[in-house]
Amino acid sequence: MKKSQIFELLKSVKYPGFSRDIVSFGLIKEIKINNDTINIDLALKTNNEEKKNEVVSSIKKILTQNFKQVAINIIDESPQKSDVSQGGLSTQQNQFNLNNIKNIIAIASGKGGVGKSTIAANIALALKENKYSVGLLDLDIYGPSLPIILGINKSPGMMEDRKIIPIEHYGLKIMSFGFISGNDTPVIWRGPLVSRMTEQFFNDVHWGDLDYLILDLPPGTGDIQLTLTQKLRMAGAILVTTPQDIALADVQKGADMFRKVHTPIIGVIENMSSLQINGVLEGLNQKNNNDVTLDIEGIDEKININEDGSFSIPINLFKSGGGLKESKRLDVPLLGKIPISIEMMHATDKGEPIILSQPNNSVSNLFRDLVKKINTQLQN
């Protein structure tokens, strides 16, 4: 059998407690075949002997159908803790000095214009609400938008050792190419320069101790994504899409790229899933409002009225179910569906994300739910 066939067989072995397999986690480091004998180097760093035995047993059960002898060597070559319980779901090597950062999460999309940066900013702020120390890094060299989304119009400082000090704003440590180039300056960069600048954001920025570093990646599967996956150990990637088929086609390419380089996919977020219209019916008897519904032509479901007379109407402007479809294809959770929100649009334009400007808004609560699901995925 070829090594590629072995990898395909081992994709059926799930890491205990997860829906993802040991190949997508990057746990298979080496495969050596000698006639009827196969040797597997398995990077399985966990103190849980039950989990170790379960994985080893599953591998042997599959491979003994094709080999007389199956030898599994458990190795540890990661410079950081890579146990799933520590939030490190991937076994990539950290070639940057980021030992003080516990979890690095990439927010990615296959195409531009899906609201990825807005999602990244609100996720970072929701994590900060939960008392985590959080950094936010805008790696979209060609079109950095976080300075606008967060209302920042200044340059970062510099330490005596020439390290860049990230801007502290809204309780986050923030760095963006837009702070250096200016948001109005068009930038044309070739591959090697892009990779070099990306590395500087890690090597030359003083991030300090962080629980989370959120990476706002540029759209697509270009030089920045490849540089990161080759040199950075990430907890995983979150894929942002919109419901349309064209967006799904692009996000599938991004997802497949992360899988090929063994970066775990934490889940999928469907943005712009529907248009949410909020309103209030006045003059109703509050005691009986729970029994009142709105029946609107063109809306399949009846709309419930809350005790205060408020209601919310979701209207699917695009084809629905795209995010769920992609999450099922990848066998990862659909972390959430974020509607088109006029309130979020205004908050973003003002440079004050909705989770700050309108903390009680239903969309703000959706971001809090997202963070709970992300933490659950990392801690299982």
CATH number of the structural domain spanning residue 343: 3.40.50.300
| Co-location of 29 and 100 in the same domain | no
Whether residue 7 lies inside any domain: the answer is yes
Distances (CA, A) of 69 to 32, 48, 126: 12, 25, 50
| Co-location of 25 and 121 in the same domain | no
Whether residue 209 lies inside any domain: the answer is yes
Residue 138 confidence class, pLDDT cut points 50, 70, 90: very high
With CA atoms as reference, report the closest residue to 150 among 290, 352, 6: 352
Q: Which domain-ending residue is among 75, 97, 127?
A: 75
| Co-location of 134 and 12 in the same domain | no
| Co-location of 341 and 228 in the same domain | yes
What is the per-residue pLDDT for 294? 63
Integer Cα distance of 374 and 130 in angstroms: 13
| Co-location of 63 and 165 in the same domain | no
Backbone torsions φ then ψ of 61, nearest 5 degrees: -60, -40
Whether residue 363 lies inside any domain: the answer is yes
Whether residue 344 lies inside any domain: the answer is yes
**Tokens 């890491």 -> residue:** 15
SS3 31: strand
| Long-range contacts at 303-312 (CB < 8 A, ≥ 24 apart) | 305/281, 308/280, 309/280, 309/281, 309/282, 309/284, 310/278, 310/279, 310/280, 311/278, 311/279, 311/280, 311/281, 312/276, 312/277, 312/278, 312/362
| Co-location of 39 and 104 in the same domain | no
Model confidence at 212: pLDDT above 80: yes
| Co-location of 344 and 259 in the same domain | yes
Whether residue 51 lies inside any domain: the answer is yes
Assign residue 8 the CATH number of its domain: 3.30.300.130
Integer Cα distance of 105 and 90 in angstroms: 11
Backbone torsions φ then ψ of 348, nearest 5 degrees: -65, -45
Q: Is residue 220 within 8 Å of 110, Cβ to Cβ?
A: yes
- Higher-confidence residue: 245 or 12? 12
Whether residue 283 lies inside any domain: the answer is no
Q: Number of folded domains in the chain?
A: 2
Domain ranges, residue 59 = 3-75
| Co-location of 330 and 227 in the same domain | yes
Q: What tens digit of pLDDT does each residue of 17-76 get? A: 666 678 877 788 889 998 889 999 888 766 678 888 889 999 999 999 989 899 998 875
- Higher-confidence residue: 19 or 317? 317
| Co-location of 27 and 146 in the same domain | no
Integer Cα distance of 238 and 209 in angstroms: 22
H or E element, residue 228: helix 223-231
For residues 80-89, give the mean pLDDT.
Answer: 36
Model confidence at 282: pLDDT above 80: no
Residues with Cβ within 8 Å of residue 17, at least 6 apart in sequence: 51, 84, 380
Q: Which domain-ending residue is among 28, 51, 75?
A: 75
pTM (2 d.p.): 0.68
Whether residue 309 lies inside any domain: the answer is no
- Higher-confidence residue: 68 or 126? 126
- Higher-confidence residue: 175 or 281? 175
| Co-location of 71 and 115 in the same domain | no
| Co-location of 144 and 174 in the same domain | yes
What is the per-residue pLDDT for 82? 36
Q: Which domain-ending residue is among 75, 96, 129?
A: 75
Whether residue 94 lies inside any domain: the answer is yes
| Co-location of 67 and 99 in the same domain | no
Residue 310 confidence class, pLDDT cut points 50, 70, 90: confident
